[in-house]
Amino acid sequence: MDVAARRRESAFLGVSALLFASSAAVTIVWCSSMSATGNMPMPGGWTMSMAWMRMPGQTWPGAAASFLGMWVVMMVAMMLPSLVPMLLRYRAAVGPAGERRLGRLTVLVGVGYFVVWTAFGMAAFPPGVALAILEMEQPALARAVPTAVGVVVLLAGFLQLTAWKARHLACCRQAPGRGNRLPAAAGTAWRHGLRLGLHCSRCCIGWMAILLVVGVMDLRAMAIVGAAITVERLAPAGERVARAMGAVGVGAGLLLIARAARLG
């Protein structure tokens, strides 16, 4: 790698680190401000996240926009550590032919990737709100939530053990190999980002389900899920790591179900 290429890579890593730090800081501040307003105690001994609630004086479109903004920033903080190596491999696959446009092409890949996650958040918000309203209106349903959380964690753990998960994880981990080149074209970059985002969202569906039911504004849940996603993508034996985390998820789900039954 020549001096110019090293400088470009260093600049890319520096911008990525700054973006990660900024998104993580905004997420922490946002979550802290939401926690300060207080979550809603619910029958069954759990609390409802305010992320699904409309603030006083806020319209539902405003609440949806607020949730989506929070979701996108949160996804950048959680997914960027595992996305950066994929972007580096994309940059290597484009090669010298696209060096003049490499920055813009990389941005297009990243935007395509996060557009998929934005759509995921848009799809999650309406059913999340509808379920929250039902839980407030139906105490029996609210009391069943701790058991339902355990079931979701259990199923997510089992999903980690499946061939379906292994296939999508392999797609997330694979990259253009040495000698394989990608055209230095905006359309190719955009489609590459969308493809990465689609594989990533499928691969992470279990982790996202856990995050949504445990607490979409819970910093500990975000940190655990983000770390798990990063490790299974970047560890040398990623598939074995994913299966090991699946076994832990199965055990955690069973414990949550047993605890809910005992307290219920």
Query: Digits of tens for pLDDT over the chain (264 positions)?
Result: 567 778 888 889 999 999 999 999 999 988 887 766 656 667 766 677 777 777 777 788 888 898 899 999 999 999 999 999 999 888 888 876 666 788 899 999 999 999 999 999 999 999 988 888 888 888 888 888 889 999 999 999 999 999 999 988 988 877 554 456 788 889 999 999 999 999 899 999 999 999 988 877 788 889 999 999 999 999 888 899 999 999 999 999 999 999 888 876
Q: Whole-angstrom Cα distance, residue 183 to residue 185?
A: 5
Q: What is the DSSP string of 76-119?
A: HHHHHHHHHHHHHHHHHHHGGGGGGGHHHHHHHHHHHHHHHHHH
Question: Tell me, what's the pLDDT at 36?
Answer: 62
Q: What is the span of the domain harbouring residue 246?
A: 3-263
pLDDT tens per residue, range 164-181: 999 889 888 775 544 567
pLDDT in tens, 88-110: 888 888 876 666 788 899 999 99
What pLDDT is recorded for position 246? Answer: 95
Residue 222 · residue 26 · CB < 8 Å: no
Q: Give the residue from 180, 201, 217 showing the smallest Cα distance to 82.
A: 201
Nearest-CA neighbor of 46 among 152, 168, 142, 113?
142
Q: pTM value?
A: 0.89
The domain tally of the chain equals: 1
Backbone torsions φ then ψ of 237, nearest 5 degrees = -105, 60
Alpha-carbon gap, residue 235 to 241, rounded angstroms = 8
Q: What is the pLDDT of residue 141?
A: 84
